[in-house]
């Protein structure tokens, strides 16, 4: 096993690291305090990333991550899922909220990349897409969605309410999960691309949050919202035998990317706490843990947990690049990185005491930002449930 990052991505990773340090970090506190203010500094970065992808370069970004193309018969492939995750890790080393605010890098873009057909990929290319799943009565159990989509000629009419939509106000369009028939359960849930300004779609409010304040989080209502049938992503047929699998491919795509966010944010906290306590740490790791201080032993343990989360995330992305089923591995990566990311950032605040709790440092901000990464795209508990189903060979109805 080669556990090093692919060399072909080194330039992209280095560039993302520089952006994290020289663009994100200097404005991090500014937009944490100015919640809902759009970070205009990101427009240039988004255009730069678009140019890199258009030039056939790095293929980094949410819109390029997917399982498309033919599986290679010989060798292995390190592709867009891997490059996107590595870039996200570095950018979240700077600021998670600012990454989530970058145009055309929304979770909806990953959803489109996962399940859209070729015509839709071309039509929605260059769009900034948010993703709307959660509802007032439906959190991590996506199968409980109550937003409806009723066929009417060449259109669908959407009715329902979505909450906690990241970039819901700023994005060009929203990928909305809705059911075609409530009686058929999971199999009838499909995703629709609803363009900004579509009659019947209204941003009701923006949420005030614990963290990722640079990112806008919206509640959106859909009242007799007419959407073209051509905007239904993937197959319009309801396949009861396949069940929820079609739409769930989106999560196989996005959960490793959220895990990468947690890895990047935790890396920032770890490196800062190592700077603070550098006199107590052995840079060569040659001192047995039992002979070190409690602070040093704690930091070493957190580093080991962080490395495990990073490698699990890379594995899930690598499997996607090589067209392997990665649903279990995506959930493992998300569960591990989400939990350990929050644990690391909070523990670093604790170890740094008053220094970690004050606004002179970004440690307290990283702790606030990291918590959402253990919640959205499926909570810790949901990920463990999915992993258990895969391990035991149980269906969702057999193991709840």
Query: Domain 245-392 belongs to what topology?
Result: Butyryl-CoA Dehydrogenase, subunit A; domain 3 (1.20.140)
Is there a common fold for 129-231 and 245-392?
Answer: no
Q: How far is CA 178 from CA 59, 81, 227, in A?
A: 30, 26, 12
Where do the structural domains in the chain lie, given as residue ranges? 7-123, 129-231, 245-392
What's the CATH code, domain 7-123? Answer: 1.10.540
pLDDT for res 228: 98
pLDDT for res 390: 94
Homologous superfamily of the 129-231 domain (CATH): Butyryl-CoA Dehydrogenase, subunit A, domain 2 (2.40.110.10)
The yes-or-no verdict on residue 59 having pLDDT over 70 is no
Structure confidence at residue 106 as a pLDDT band (50, 70, 90)? confident
The yes-or-no verdict on residue 55 having pLDDT over 70 is no
Q: Is 314 or 184 the better-scoring residue by pLDDT?
A: 314
Query: What percent of the chain has a predicted confidence (pLDDT) above 90?
Result: 74
Q: Catalogue the active-site residues.
A: 377
Q: Mean of the pLDDT values across residues 64-92?
A: 79
């Amino acid at each position: 096993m080669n556990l090093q990052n692919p060399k072909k991505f080194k330039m992209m990773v280095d560039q993302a690291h520089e952006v994290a340090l020289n663009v994100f970090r200097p404005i991090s506190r500014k937009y944490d305090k100015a919640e809902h203010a759009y970070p205009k500094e990101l427009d240039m970065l988004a255009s730069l990333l678009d140019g890199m992808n258009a030039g056939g370069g790095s293929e980094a970004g949410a819109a390029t991550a997917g399982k498309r193309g033919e599986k290679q018969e010989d060798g292995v492939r390190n592709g867009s899922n891997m490059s996107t995750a590595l870039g996200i890790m570095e950018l979240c080393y700077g600021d998670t909220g600012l990454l989530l605010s970058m145009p055309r890098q929304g979770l909806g873009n990953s959803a489109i990349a996962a399940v859209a057909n070729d015509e839709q990929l071309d039509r929605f290319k260059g769009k900034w897409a948010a993703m709307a799943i959660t509802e007032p009565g439906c959190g991590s159990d996506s199968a409980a969605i109550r937003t409806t989509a009723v066929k009417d000629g060449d259109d669908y009419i959407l009715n329902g309410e979505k909450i906690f939509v990241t970039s819901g106000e700023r994005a060009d369009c929203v990928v909305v999960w809705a059911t075609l028939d409530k009686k058929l359960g999971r199999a009838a849930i499909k995703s629709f691309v609803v363009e900004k300004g579509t009659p019947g779609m209204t941003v009701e409010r923006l949420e005030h949050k614990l963290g990722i304040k640079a990112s806008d989080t919206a509640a959106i209502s859909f009242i007799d919202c007419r959407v073209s049938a051509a905007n239904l992503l993937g197959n319009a047929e309801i396949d009861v035998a396949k069940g929820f699998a079609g739409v769930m491919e989106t999560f196989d795509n996005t959960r490793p990317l959220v895990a990468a966010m947690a890895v990047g944010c935790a890396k920032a906290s770890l490196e800062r706490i190592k700077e603070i306590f550098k006199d107590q740490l052995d840079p060569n790791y040659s001192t047995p843990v039992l002979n070190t201080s409690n602070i040093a032993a704690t930091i070493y343990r957190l580093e080991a947990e962080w490395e495990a989360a990073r490698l699990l995330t890379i594995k899930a992305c690598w499997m996607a690049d090589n067209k392997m089923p990665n649903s279990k591995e995506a959930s493992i990566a998300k569960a591990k990185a989400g939990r350990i990311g929050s644990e690391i950032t909070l523990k670093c605040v604790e170890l740094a005491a008053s220094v970690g709790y004050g606004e002179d440092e970004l440690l307290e901000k990283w702790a606030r930002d990291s918590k959402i990464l253990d919640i959205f795209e499926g909570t810790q508990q949901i990920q463990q449930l999915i992993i258990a189903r895969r391990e035991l060979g149980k269906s969702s109805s057999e193991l709840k």
